[in-house]
Chain A
């Protein structure tokens, strides 16, 4: 195989699919959230296609406060990801297993121990996606009366990540006694088979980027345009030297929501079929939650997005949505549908060659090290990506034919921590 740089691919598994109306699609597996065999099948599909990893998002609470809206989506129930990935660990043999877990509602000792256990069960294939949790719905499940300010959450996250890294390195020394956390002992599990589980982050705000530059191995992002993706890529890699790290020590993997078929017409029809299944109230509610405002439904649905106050929630994503709305002159309804389909991520509708062209352009243009693939519904759209796009990328020498090693660090070409 060629020694040239190849892209990394994550299979982002989520409920019935990433499209908000996925569960209503005739071919979507509607009982995904209570069917472990469905997830085992998805993991094996992704592994057969040589994906670097599967990735599970998480929230410790409902996604949507409005019960009527929530009941029209499949996102209120699902597996808890640590238990899900632990089950998948012994039903797969090569693919990486990455889950989100919050620094706001866990303790570093317990989280480090749990992920290290997953790492042992999988023979060195585990990764942790650090999030600070921006949702007031989650906060209410943990005794918090209000969401903590953005900067406070990130200071807690910084200390949390530091403690976790020390525990994983076996260098717990005399323990930790800090601002938010204390832990006395070393972990009672052996050292990770890959040195330490892989550390993933997704926060794209200024303070989030600094934390990633310091500690992350992989960064997931949302970027609609090439320019946004390239700007983020350059900025993050540029911050790393200050922390004594080399640019290649982080793999930047933007989310991509492909809809792929044998012909472009077929792909467009497939996408329109999904869009038609989105109820207006669901689309607006989803958009509202990304903008961290609760009363978007008060504004005329065919009018423009109102001026928004700066939020304590997801700063970076809010800016992205607002920019897109202004740039394309979209109404709330148009924007809601547009975002409902891909959750603010980059969407490509077309043939395998068209999808591969776009991925290649960003990969070779210095805007990505790989992609976190977000199939619109399961299992069909993961199957389609594996059957159509992966072989096209392999044919172009852009993606591996076989796994290079056994651990997630091996797949990602990451250094083993000392």
Chain B
């Protein structure tokens, strides 16, 4: 492993995620699966760590989605081989057992490249479509989200990596000692487990948290693999980053066990050739481990980004030349990623 946290960021490489923009306004043509697959393969050819597929609108604006995020992720997994695939899925829309299963399955379909983007902020209109017209109070939503994520991560660890024996002659398909009940009984949920999906090829799917407020940071430090943070002025961002790493260490983890990516929202007016310089400056000022690029609402903007910005970051030695491993955890240099 490379030495961590020297005084400067010499030799440090940033992580790059790109949010996939697939929503359109009513009347506008939606992108086809083939079009989406083509831009994701381009991002893969450029070595981008992962694409993040957002789901339902939280703005209340009427938009049309061609596909729901987890189903799109499954399809993309079969036409890509290296890039990480992260889908947003709501803790209001799914039961924790079902969501844990879906992502465990996606992780096997993608051979260890899947991640779940959970948000700690309640989408204003969502609960009304899921038989809860009154929604959750902010406090309840907060405690419920924590409990929910704990359950999902617990279910993901229900089968040991060597639990499956496949012993035809001995008649032993799996080792019963290596399958574990969750037996969770909490304030909002009770889930017995275990999951009926095998252990992930990358130990567990990657957990990407967004929508975090300051009080969420201890939780985020304890449970997440990646956090997505909104951009803020340099001094504040540096302090926030240092604070996060202290909290991660306080949980008994190495500071680099959680990657903080800053959301960079590009508008149609931004000049792409200037973006690389801006990202380089922010990264080298110790304010993050990389970026989550949010592009204008036009699928081809992703092609432009990987054609212009990624090569420039690579020229500056700030982005790796190629994938070193095969799993999303290995791209992100997270523990249990296998070949790093």
Contact = CB atoms under 8 A, between A and B. Distances in A.
Interface residues of A, number: 66
9 closest residue pairs by CB, A with B: A86-B74, A80-B105, A117-B68, A140-B192, A86-B71, A184-B128, A109-B129, A141-B97, A143-B190
Contacts of A387: none
A77 B196 contact: yes
A296 interface: no
Contact of A87 (B62, B109, B164, B197): B109
Interface string A204-227: 000000000000000000000000
Given A86-B71, A185-B128, A190-B66, A34 B164 contact: yes
Contacts of B193: 141
A80 B72 contact: no
Interface of A: 23-26, 28, 30-31, 33-34, 36, 40, 59-63, 67-68, 70-74, 76-80, 82-84, 86-87, 89-91, 105-107, 109-110, 113-114, 116-118, 120-121, 137, 140-143, 175, 177, 180-185, 188-190, 277, 279
A40 B78 CA distance: 10
29 contacts: A30-B166, A40-B78, A63-B196, A68-B176, A70-B176, A73-B173, A76-B196, A78-B196, A78-B197, A79-B108, A80-B102, A80-B104, A82-B74, A83-B102, A84-B109, A89-B75, A114-B71, A117-B71, A118-B71, A120-B66, A120-B67, A121-B75, A140-B191, A140-B192, A141-B97, A141-B192, A182-B128, A182-B132, A189-B67
Interface residues of B, number: 61
B93 A83 contact: no
B74 A84 contact: yes
Interface in B137-185: 159, 164, 166, 168-169, 171-176, 179
Nearest to B108: A34
Nearest to B106: A83
Interface of B: 30, 33, 37, 56-57, 62-68, 70-75, 77-79, 93-95, 97-98, 101-102, 104-106, 108-109, 125, 128-133, 159, 164, 166, 168-169, 171-176, 179, 189-194, 196-198
Contacts of A83: 70-71, 73-74, 102, 105-106, 109
Nearest to B133: A182
Contacts of A24: 168-169, 171
A36 to B, nearest CB: 5
B78 A87 contact: yes
A189 B26 CA distance: 10
A26 B171 contact: no
Contacts of B109: 36, 79, 83-84, 87
Contacts of A79: 105, 108-109, 197
Given A76-B196, A79-B109, A80-B105, A67 B67 contact: no
Nearest to A138: B97
